[in-house]
Amino acid sequence: MYIEHSLDQCIKCNICTSSCPVCAVTDLFPGPKYVAPQAGRFRQDKQPTPDHSVDYCSGCRVCNMVCPTGVKIAEINARARAILVEQWKTPLRHRIRNNVIARVELLGKFAQPIAPVSNYIMSLRIARLIGDKALGIARYAPFPPFTKKKFTSWFSNHSADRQLHRDNIHSPDRPKVVYFHGCSTQYYEPQVGRAAVHVLEANGFDVIVPPQNCCGLPLLSNGEFKAARCYHSSNVKSLIRFARQEIPIVGTSTSCTLTLKEEAPDLLDMHDDDTEIVARRTFDLNEFLVYLLNKQRLNLDFQRVPLRVSYHIPCQYRAHRLGKPGLELLQMIPELTLLESHAPCCGIAGTYGYKREKYSIALQVGTELFNFIERSKPSVVLCESETCRWQITHVTKFPSIHPVELFAYAYGFEPEGILKSILLQGNPTIGGNHRI
């Protein structure tokens, strides 16, 4: 119950409200102080049903990061939203909508095997209009296309090939690392997972990809705590045997790793031994690479990459409280021109910006970031969050990739997708070892 009790630490300084990117653009959300600690005191004894304005909190955690006394503001709001869901106080249409967009893994399992058909349907204006009118799924929100081949399918073949050509690849002396790929890599962006595997192998690791499911964050964000508990319990059960062997669990989706580390255990009060051990052994990829750097174990053989890039650190990444490990690593790549964004949020906040009533709010929240990117005119935008990347490209039309794709290229691996197109456009003779 520490989350609820933390509201007593609120000193009513209003720093959270003045920093909140949502209440700055809409009156529908009165501000973190009023909806979380202040309203929370009434909810405890007098008003069991939360005010519906809590649903306009995007969960970006900016309030948590600026609070001088450590009030768990975003978590208080998340639990209040869960009460709304539990008491069936949200409109039925919105509840159906939220269940559809929050069950990313289920959607991927059905839609990815028929990717050409799924992608065609999602591209139809009439289909998007029906989703908007019937369920309240914003018709213009950036839905990425499903991949034709899942990441795990590629990894199975890759692992078999490595075993065939290098019998010592699974040597007991070779350090091991578990890769938590997340739903976006599995069903939408397998190139992110391929790049992560290449980077980890370039640093001497044997990569393991155990069975796993959605981290559960979309469900937590939409108040579906019961379903999220099932997802998180399943992941803990799959990962615990590696965590107990002190094998690092590394992820490329910063929201997934935050959920494994902190969000799910805290919101769901899951503080059993297994959950805590998995949380302690989970690392964001950049965090893990900086750890190797500090131990003088990071492969520093980066080739030059003369590109102009903008880099945005997403909200969920700042919530890790790690500083800027991605920036530290990117600065080590020769000839890379790096422009750092200081904007607080892109606005999409996971599933938040996919809801019709919040779509325009999300766009307004991200205005500072979008203006920065348009002024910067980069070759590509770098960001660790998948939904942030989709939002950035949707609004600015500038291509966006995960930094790990650039790291993989800097290690000499074949560029893919967007990065390959950018490099080929600027360097039509690119080939061989892919140096430019």
Q: What is the CATH number of the domain that holds 276?
A: 1.20.1050
What is the arithmetic mean of pLDDT over 159-174?
67
Do 373 and 248 lie in one domain? The reply is no
Do 338 and 277 lie in one domain? The reply is no
| Rounded Cα distance, 345 and 315, in Å | 6
Q: At what angle do helices 356-365 and 367-376 cross, to 10 degrees?
A: 50
Q: How much of the chain, in percent, has pLDDT values that exceed 70?
A: 93
DSSP 223: T
User: Is residue 329 within 8 Å of 340, Cβ to Cβ?
Assistant: no
pLDDT category at 429 given cuts 50, 70, 90 is very low
Q: Which pLDDT does position 160 carry in this prediction? A: 83
Do 68 and 98 lie in one domain? The reply is no
Domain termination site, one of 268, 294, 320: 294
| Rounded Cα distance, 211 and 190, in Å | 16
303 domain-assigned: no
**Could you tell me which of 30, 136, 25 has the C-alpha nearest to residue 90?**
136
Do 389 and 407 lie in one domain? The reply is yes
pLDDT category at 166 given cuts 50, 70, 90 is low
Q: Which residues, 6+ apart, have CB-to-CB distance to 361 below 8 Å?
A: 22, 25, 26, 28, 56, 347, 353
DSSP 197: H
209 domain-assigned: yes
224 domain-assigned: yes
Domain residues for 124? 92-135
Domain termination site, one of 135, 169, 194: 135
pLDDT at 99 over 90: no
Do 60 and 121 lie in one domain? The reply is no
Instruction: Write out pLDDT tens, residues 414-427.
Output: 999 999 999 888 64
Give the residue carrying structure tokens 């131990």.
295
Tokens of 248: 């690092």
What CATH number is given to the structural domain containing 389?
3.40.50
| Rounded Cα distance, 257 and 35, in Å | 27
Q: Which pLDDT does position 30 carry in this prediction? A: 92
| Rounded Cα distance, 55 and 39, in Å | 13
Q: Which pLDDT does position 433 carry in this prediction? A: 30
Q: Within 10 Å of residue 117's Cβ, how many Cβ atoms? A: 11
Q: Which residues, 6+ apart, have CB-to-CB distance to 82 below 8 Å?
A: 223, 224, 225
pLDDT category at 170 given cuts 50, 70, 90 is low
Instruction: Write out pLDDT tens, residues 183-200.
Output: 999 999 999 999 999 999
Domain termination site, one of 294, 320, 336: 294
What CATH number is given to the structural domain containing 7?
1.10.1060.10
Mean pLDDT taken over the chain = 91
pLDDT category at 431 given cuts 50, 70, 90 is very low
For the chain, how many structural domains are there in total?
Answer: 4
In whole angstroms, how far apart are CA 246 and each of 56, 279, 355? 40, 12, 40
Do 121 and 195 lie in one domain? The reply is no
Do 177 and 279 lie in one domain? The reply is yes
pLDDT category at 436 given cuts 50, 70, 90 is very low
pLDDT category at 430 given cuts 50, 70, 90 is very low
pLDDT category at 49 given cuts 50, 70, 90 is low
In 221-299, where do the E strands start and end?
249-251, 282-284
Q: Alpha helix locations (H) across 136-252?
A: 151-165, 182-187, 190-202, 217-221, 225-244
299 domain-assigned: no
302 domain-assigned: no
Do 194 and 319 lie in one domain? The reply is no
What is the arithmetic mean of pLDDT over 52-67?
92
Do 6 and 70 lie in one domain? The reply is yes
Do 269 and 157 lie in one domain? The reply is yes
pLDDT at 432 over 50: no
What residue type is 379 in one-letter code?
S
Q: Which pLDDT does position 135 carry in this prediction? A: 92
Do 128 and 68 lie in one domain? The reply is no
Minimum mean pLDDT range among 80-84, 293-297, 328-332:
80-84
Q: Is 5 helix (H, G, I), strand (E, B) or coil?
A: helix
pLDDT at 238 over 60: yes
What is the arithmetic mean of pLDDT over 279-287?
98
Q: Which pLDDT does position 45 carry in this prediction? A: 58
Do 162 and 190 lie in one domain? The reply is yes
431 domain-assigned: no
pLDDT at 158 over 80: yes
206 domain-assigned: yes
Q: Which pLDDT does position 434 carry in this prediction? A: 29
373 domain-assigned: yes
| Rounded Cα distance, 66 and 179, in Å | 32
The sign of the torsion formed by the CA atoms of 114, 352, 95, 82 equals positive
Instruction: Write out pLDDT tens, residues 340-382.
Output: 999 999 999 999 999 999 999 999 999 999 999 999 999 999 9
